[in-house]
Amino acid sequence: MIAAVQRYFADLNAAVGAAWNRFWYAPAAAAPLGLVRAATGALAFYAVASYGPDLIHWFDAQGMLPVSTVRELYPDQYSLLDYVSGSGLWAVFAAALVATGALALGVGGRIAAVAALVLTLSFFHRAPLLTGEFEAVLAFLLAYQCLGRGGDAFSLAAWWRTKQGKPPAPPAASNRVALRLIQVHIAVVHAMMAVAMFAAPGGVWFSGEGLWLAAATPGASLIDVTSWSEHTKIIALASHAVTAYFVAFPWLAWNSRVRPLLLAVAAGVWVVLAILTGSPTFCLAMAAGMAAFTPAAWLTSPAADGDAS
Amino acid sequence: MARRPANKPAEIAPPKWQSVATPLLILHLFCLALAVLSNGGGGVSRVGYALRKIPLAPAYLKLLAMDLGYDFELGGAEPQNAAHHLEVARPGETAPVALLPADDVRWRIRRQRYQQLAFHVAQFDDVFSENSDLQTMTPLAIADAWLRDLDLPPQRYVLRCRRVSAPRWAAAPEEERERSPTANEAGAGQTAQGDQPADGDEAIEIDLVWNRYEQRYEGARRRPAALTAKAIGDAAPAADAATAEGADVGDAATDAEEVAP
């Protein structure tokens, strides 16, 4: 009996260890990570560039958000922008554009990734009062890019490698680690957004009114929805479909057979949400993260395949 | 018939740095779980309170901007889901002199950042309701820079933070609700008025006064009208009693004067 129990735990330990190694360390092609890298770099470039017109208004010593005020409210956050003002702000701004541009183009490898992370987070930490869901998702996408070799695909470096007649970079375990972390984090975001829908005061997502409230908030939707208020059943159906998607994604995304269908549904859902919520940057950031679930076989030739599943 | 062997996935030889990576991965995933548990649902988890005492974990999460619950709300009927904006007006006037975000800010992400700023003004107004210095710190800093940028003459103004909510649906018709044994559509905000825009709470108003010695604006939060009305209501019987007592004191003093040589 004792021997059987010991054998059970030994087998369990071996099985869990093998599954852990397969999940986290099976070498993966760089293509899915490269796709995420290019999208993340582009979004980070856009996020930083959008601070430009208001850089002095917000962050200068005489600006709306003086360092002393922000640090009184957020004492445990650090930013390079805390230490500069005036022309120093523009210097950091320019450096951030260069770093995020290099990340988007796939130049500079992990050095560019780390620089883009530090400089972009400096803008977010300098004024948390200005950040929202987009910055929250972009932050972890940037962080995980520092772990893998995302520059080996969909990059200037990869293009140059091909031009020189060299074979594509081989699959790497570090790519798998980065992809899995992105996948886990995206699944967590979906799960928690589903929780928020169920917990919404007044049961607005249960009644189907949730999507209407998102779209009808003044200045939100990219299209005019005022005439939609009479079609409550159609909007409620769409709301329930969105809720079902957020509930299903964290569970079904790990099944390689269902994943392509789920990604197709996800594309539709996030396009609709981008239009109705008026937050296209947040939806694009989520789409960039979900690119981590794309099978590498869809993006590469068979020789370089190391499936994302 | 021979049993077909079950397909066993191939064993993967982990990389050499696996012994370092695995504990770090576990720590990171633990910190992510800590962030979700301690921030999700308004951050009310008792387990979350305890987990935040773990040294370095909150600092690590803040460093990577991951100290969040990730329970983002796409839409809702609460005041925090409304569209927020700031406006400045002259005292006694309703029409604003300027809006933030201004109408000429067309870049959507810039507009959303200004709306986030206004949202935080409203949020801190509620969170710091017991501390007037912290309550007005952010709006005064914003107003100081904003009015200087607008080149408005330094004088008294009123800074307002307004929220405009989405219009609610009317309750479903009675005959539809009767089909459901548990239908309860007397939820918050649903009225028989149809899709009337609800302006939510009254605007947060801060009276701005120019301090010419320190060359900056100072200000105080106007008390919400409901609280003022309540205070007046509570004070009225007390004032009546004080008036009566004052009359008695006055009479006594008059008597004293009459008595004293």
pLDDT at B30 over 90: yes
pLDDT at B6 over 70: no
pLDDT at B188: 40
Phi-psi region of B154 (alpha: psi -120 to 50; beta: other; left: phi over 0): beta
Q: Return the higher-pLDDT residue of A297 and B226.
A: A297
Domain boundaries, chain B: 23-63, 79-166+192-227
pLDDT at B254 over 50: no
* Full domain range(s) for residue A294: 28-157+172-304
Reported ipTM: the value is: 0.93
Q: Which residue of B has its CA nearest to A199?
A: B41
Contacts of A171 in chain B (CB under 8 A): none
**A183 contact B CB<8A:** no
**How close does chain A come to B53, measured CA to CA in Å?**
15
**How close does chain A come to B250, measured CA to CA in Å?**
51
With 0.90 as the threshold, say if the pTM is over it.
no
Contacts of B40 in chain A (CB under 8 A): 192, 195
Of A168-182, A216-230, A239-253, B5-19, least confident by mean pLDDT is: B5-19
Q: Which residue of A has its CA nearest to B194?
A: A229
Instruction: Give a yes or no: residue A15 inside a domain.
Output: no
Q: Which residue of B has its CA nearest to A217?
A: B166
Q: Given pLDDT bands bounded at 50, 70 and 90, which one contains residue B190?
A: very low
CB spacing of B18 vs A25 below 8 angstroms: yes
DSSP A130: G
Evaluate the CA torsion angle B85, B87, B91, B94 in order and state its sign: negative
Q: Return the higher-pLDDT residue of A201 and A124.
A: A124
CB nearest B75 (choices: A143, A199, A214): A214
pLDDT at B249 over 60: no
Q: Given pLDDT bands bounded at 50, 70 and 90, which one contains residue B101?
A: very high
When divided into structural domains, chain A yields a total of 1
Distances (CA, A) of B203 to A30, A218, A308, B134, B206: 52, 16, 51, 18, 10
**How close does chain A come to B61, measured CA to CA in Å?**
10
Instruction: Give a yes or no: residue A16 inside a domain.
Output: no
**A268 contact B CB<8A:** no
Instruction: Give a yes or no: residue A112 inside a domain.
Output: yes
CA B20, B22, B24 angle in degrees (round to 5)? 75
Instruction: Give a yes or no: residue A81 inside a domain.
Output: yes
**How close does chain B come to A74, measured CA to CA in Å?**
10
- Percent of chain B past pLDDT 90, that is, above it, reads 48
Give the whole-angstrom CA distance, residue B11 versus residue B15: 13
- Average pLDDT, integer, range A166-195: 96
Residue A21 near residue B12, CB atoms below 8 Å: yes
- Average pLDDT, integer, range A24-52: 97
- Average pLDDT, integer, range A109-132: 96
